[in-house]
Amino acid sequence: MEQIKANMVRTHGPSFPSACRTRCLFVMSTGLRSMGLLAALFLPALAFATTTDLVHETAMGMWPTTGIDVVSAIFIGVLVAIAAHSLMTYFAIGDRVHIAHALLALSLVTAQLLLIGGIAPPRWLDGTNSAELALPSGIALVGLFASIFTRDFFDTASNAPLYERLLLVTASLFALSLAAIWIVPPPYGVHTAWGTAMLFAALAIACSIRCIQLHVAGAGLFLAACAVVIVGQGLASAVSHGPGHVIASFSAEAGFLMATLLLSVAMARRTDAARGTRAVRLAAELDISKQTLAAARELETTLTHRLDEKALELDAANARLVERTQKLEALAHRDALTQLPNRLLFEDRTTHAITRALRHKARVAVILVDIEAFRKINKEFGRSLGDELLVLLAHRLSARLRAGDTIARIGGDEFAVLLEDVFEHDDLERVISGLKDELPLPFLLGDKQIVIEASMGFAFFPEDGEDTASLLRAADRRMLKVKQARADGDTATT
């Protein structure tokens, strides 16, 4: 249960990295808004100044180099800002398509630098007209990273596997064309670059249309960006001479710049759609987690209820076991008829009494009481009446003993008495005298009166024995002497 709650917090709860990413996105959005505001304030003035220079230089019959430098600087600056924004966005949200977008923007910067001579050709091309290689080199470089960006933007591996393979082919062709332009003498690499560019344009449009059908976020804007690039290149090619050549010279840069901005908006929509999808997925996961938690709680309640039931059953079973154990102990240590201690319990108590007597240097006495002719009583009056007689005799003898003394039934008609802390023979004589006083009294059993006779023998610890068995034997020997004396008519000994 606790583990499920921890998983829910770890999966859906706010974390430090997500908070940092949110803060980074807020800072970047604020920075972009500031950049847009500055562009809105200064670009009109810059455009007015650039147009004035262009008109002046054209009227003087010169190529408008000032305007080209300013527009190229603006073009490169905006692309570098877009690349920086894409890189920061990648570090904020971790989507690699932003890396591809940044590389695309930087490839446009490289292509522009090639066109304006900002990058010198290699030494092995000193005899070659580098201006003729700049445009196809830029097209091959931009086409290479545009192919990579298209794959990542549309996730063609999942959404359009056929276009995934075709885009890999075009990317490879662009890479080969770029290498051929700077290694193989013209025009082989140049023709390959232009042919691959036309193939990629058709492929990008077809892939955009397919992804629009698949409802891929940002596919429409991607198609619009492709159209803007094509229109810009068309204007640059169609109006290369005459009065409109000044505007045509900037149409390609404007087309690429507008396309890059459209792709930025498309990626924003793609990111929003991904967030929405992720939110739906997280909501579904949260719902599943809630259902799992509810099921776990229900299971916990059921298990708790069952455990309580089992605990009650176990308590009842323990109570029954204790009761049975007590009954078994009673049966093992008590006489079933008189409820007096039996022989086993009597011997155990005698052993403990001897141990205490040794510790305190005291004496212990044992008395045996045997009912005479008890079999005759059972035969004449019945076993049930004989049992009643034993119960009454047990009560009478118990009443004559001290609180700490023990009387037990150790045989059918034989009783034993344990006396502790006996210091003198007179103490024993008083107990024996009291028992003798009870024995001659008649027992009223229904409408009958029964008078019994009994013989008694005693033994002292430590004089007559040092353990229970020796004490019982000594007491039994004295009791036999009493019986023999009674048989011989010696009443004094009796």
Mean pLDDT of 10-17: 43
Q: Cα–Cα distance between 254 and 309 in angstroms, integer? A: 81
Helix ranges, 155-244 (H): 156-159, 161-183, 188-213, 219-238
Most distant CA atoms of the chain, gap in Å: 175
Mean pLDDT of 247-254: 67
Q: Cα–Cα distance between 216 and 269 in angstroms, integer? A: 10
Nearest C-alpha neighbor of 436 from the set 386, 484, 396, 395: 396
Q: What are the structure tokens assigned to 47, written together?
A: 């455009």
How far from 225 is each of 146, 221, 222, 270, 449, CA to CA, in Å?
12, 6, 5, 15, 131
Helix (H) or strand (E) holding 378: helix 374-381
Q: Cα–Cα distance between 474 and 366 in angstroms, integer? A: 9
User: 462: how many CB neighbours lie within 10 A of its CB?
Assistant: 15
Compute the mean pLDDT over every residue in the chain, rounded to the nearest whole number. Answer: 79
Q: Report the DSSP beta bridge partners of residue 409.
A: 415
Say if CB 38 and CB 106 are below 8 A apart.
no
If you search the block for the tokens 């149409």, which residue do you land on? Answer: 251
Answer whether residue 6 shows pLDDT above 70: no
Q: Cα–Cα distance between 272 and 151 in angstroms, integer? A: 19
The 8-class DSSP code of residue 341 comes to: B
If you search the block for the tokens 């102990």, which residue do you land on? Answer: 329
Q: 315: pLDDT confidence band, cut at 50, 70 and 90?
A: very high
Q: At what angle do helices 130-154 and 97-115 cross, to 10 degrees?
A: 170
Q: What are the structure tokens assigned to 46, written together?
A: 């810059």
DSSP letters of 233-257?
Answer: HHHHHHTSSSTTHHHHHHHHHHHHH
The 8-class DSSP code of residue 123 comes to: G
Nearest C-alpha neighbor of 146 from the set 90, 105, 194: 105
**368-426 residue pLDDT tens:** 999 988 888 888 888 888 899 899 989 988 988 888 889 999 988 899 999 988 877 88
What CATH number was assigned to the domain covering residues 343-488? 3.30.70.270
Give me the residue spans of the domains in the chain: 2-120+217-294, 343-488
If you search the block for the tokens 């916990």, which residue do you land on? Answer: 300
**113-145 residue pLDDT tens:** 887 775 655 554 554 555 567 778 888 889 999
Task: Say what percent of the chain tops pLDDT 90.
Answer: 23
User: 43: how many CB neighbours lie within 10 A of its CB?
Assistant: 13
> According to the model, what pLDDT value does residue 341 have?
92
